[in-house]
Amino acid sequence: MNQSANDDGFFDHCPWLFAAQASEEQRAVQEQRRKRLLAGPGEVRLGADCFVAETAAVHPDVLDLGDRSYIAAHAYVTGDIRTGADCTINPFTVVRGTVTLGEGVRVGAHTSLLGFNHGTAPDLPVHRQPVTSRGITVGDDVWIGSHVVVVDGVTIGDHCVVGAGAVVTKDLPAWTVAAGNPARRIRDRREPGGGGQGPAEGRGESQGGPGASAEQWPGEVGGVSRGASSGGAGQRSAEVRGESHGGPGGGAGQRSAEARGESRGGPGGGAGQRSAEVLGESRGGPGGGAGQRSAEVRGESRGGPGGSAEQRPAKVLGKPHRDPRGSVEQRFALADLAEELVAFVGTARAQAPELLDRCRQPGSGHYVDRPGAQPTVRAHCDAVEIADLLLRDVPPQLTAAEHVQRLRALQDPGTGLVPEIGAAPPLPGPAGVPDDDGAAAYHVLCVGYALDLLGSSFAHPVHAVRNTTADRLVRHLADLPWRDRAWHAGAWVDSWATAAHWNLRLGAEAAAPGALEALFGWLHTHADPWTGMWGSPTPEAGRLQMVNGYYRLTRGSFAQFGLPVPYAERVIDTVLDHARDPRHFAPGRENACNVLDVIHPLWLCARQTTHRFEETRAWAAAQLTAALRRWHPGRGLAFGPTPDGSGPGREPGLQGTEMWLAIIWLLADVLGLADVLGYRPRGIHRPEPAPTAGKASGS
């Protein structure tokens, strides 16, 4: 250990070194500090591996400190302060009022984030003026330098860099590099040559900036690389913007209800109401005429700072403010689970090449789900996803270019759909995607995401969906078998919306004008306010069809486009009730489909509300414990039993392995343990909204 680490106050000033260098005695002291904070006044939640300096003045009303975040020496922290993971409040920093930080925010020393204000009316002395607070919101992957002042009411977008000494009085859009008093935009961080350089580099004067030298730019970053980030543009929750030029405007008078915080995105009912904007793309995104402006999702629904919608956009899928700690007994149980997760993923990673190799036919080069099965397109895509999860690479039997070539060649250029290996081109359905629950509908998902993981894309738009009109789509939605086959209906929506997504990625129209808007409008106005879902229970299977259909529907629509789901609390009630049904969840009866279709809705809704979160955690812990014991050496994971005996069943294979790896991540993430896995789904089961901005590579 560095000798200086023994000095009094060393880690208070250098907390980024605590995890690696602290002695057991110093760790015990920090644990006592945590306990005092947790037992003290105010509502305090501290994530895993947080550090709070003994010399910091921390007197909050609410403090929600994300995993691996720290508050360093002599910081002054009061008010309602909430941070994501990997946030740093460096020495002598002031954070007061209502302040919300995203993931991976670096705040330099001597900086002040002042999320409150006083009135200045002439009829009262200043010391008697009322205190107001509109709050400060900082996005993900933001670097704020030393001696910066950020005033109340400001939103700093994702990926911004704020130079040392700046005074930020107005909102900064994502990717802005800003400096000066008042702070002004210097450039876009993504501009060539930006790299990890100081943003000024002698160019500030010509662009209205202060012309500071590189040495004057953000520093004091806590010993962590300045490139630290919570993920790229495609790996974070989409912002729902109020601009009228971007998102769906509600074609054919079917704009959905405004996604207000009070109702957590619930629909308002009839025609003429507004839908939430999908992604706000200025290029190629769904249009919408004048008066069709989409609604902004209010910050109040996720415990964010108050103020009007005009004052700040909200993160649609921002993390709710919930307590990840639980009781002492729960924390010991989670520690044991974390050890099991580490052992599991080590085994899976070591055996991944073997299980991929056993599922490839030597002669044809095609992939099969398991030895003896027929080769399928899905098996090839599952292999790509497994290799990305466990090996961070492509399946080793082919090069990346060869995988891309094989998958792209499968697409029918006329319809844009993908048939099964050796089958005739599929026929589109009345509204684009086939209605038969066949392989072609699922290939829209699995082939598209496999190509995306390989750095490529479909060769052609999905013309069958691109040509769907709003009227035809609405008629077809109404005709889907919601009452008795809600899974079929939800799966159809998943495929249609995903095809629209790939069309946007290719720079094409998603569908005919107004169709994408009509989809979200119809879904908002037809969700059941008692269950939060579409469809009904059946006597034979209970809530199975509606819950499993809900997963498929929301995966391809709300989750993929970064929108809040309506009636999130009612959804949680419905899903947790379903998860107690012994027909599907008695020991030995669980399969990948049924578990995934419970945990994904719970995970998704937990981004909007803390409703029944402890029950969600308890269910996730039990399922995770069982899932980690299902690994078959060298063969992976089995899908699990199905009532009719069809499908992959109990034999381990690619489909079961791919699905369970994603399920394990979702279960672990609900418990705050996903980081120990060392992987994060980036394909069909990605947790973040899929990116739509920018054209995917066609290589």
Residues acting as catalytic residues? 118
Which residue from 542, 560, 496, 568 is spatially nearest to 643, judged by alpha carbons?
542
- DSSP letter for 88, please: E
Integer Cα distance of 127 and 142 in angstroms: 34
Q: How far is CA 332 from CA 161, 327, 595, in A?
A: 39, 9, 25
Cβ atoms of 189 and 143 within 8 Å: the answer is no
- DSSP letter for 151, please: -
Count Cβ atoms below 10 Å from residue 10 Cβ, excluding itself: 19
The token pair at 463 is 């013309």
Q: Tell me the residue type at 30.
A: Q
The DSSP string of 163-200 is -TT-EE-S-B-TTEEEETTTTEEEEETTSTT-TTS-S-
Angle at 278 between CA 244 and CA 285, to 5 degrees: 70
Count Cβ atoms below 10 Å from residue 421 Cβ, excluding itself: 17
Pairing of strands 637-638, 652-653: antiparallel
Pairing of strands 112-115, 149-150: parallel
Which residues are CB-contacts of 514 (< 8 A; sequence separation ≥ 6)? 249, 250, 251, 252, 286, 287, 288, 469, 470
Q: Where are the beta strands (DSSP E) in 116-253?
A: 117-118, 131-132, 136-138, 143-144, 149-150, 155-156, 161-162, 167-168, 176-179, 184-188
* H helix or E strand, kind and range, residue 613: helix 613-627
The DSSP string of 261-299 is TTTTS----STTPPPBPS---SSSS----TT-PPBPPPG
Which residue from 568, 569, 590, 570 is spatially nearest to 579, judged by alpha carbons?
590
Residue 99, SS3 per DSSP: strand
Integer Cα distance of 420 and 549 in angstroms: 23
Which residues are CB-contacts of 226 (< 8 A; sequence separation ≥ 6)? 106, 143, 196, 218
Which residues are CB-contacts of 88 (< 8 A; sequence separation ≥ 6)? 15, 16, 69, 70, 72, 105, 106, 107, 221, 222, 224
Integer Cα distance of 542 and 643 in angstroms: 14
The DSSP string of 455-503 is T---SS--HHHHT--HHHHHHHHHHS-TTT-HHHHHHHHHHHHHHHHHH
* H helix or E strand, kind and range, residue 58: strand 57-65
Integer Cα distance of 569 and 368 in angstroms: 40
Cβ atoms of 208 and 185 within 8 Å: the answer is yes
Q: How far is CA 431 from CA 96, 467, 561, in A?
A: 53, 8, 20
Integer Cα distance of 488 and 552 in angstroms: 9
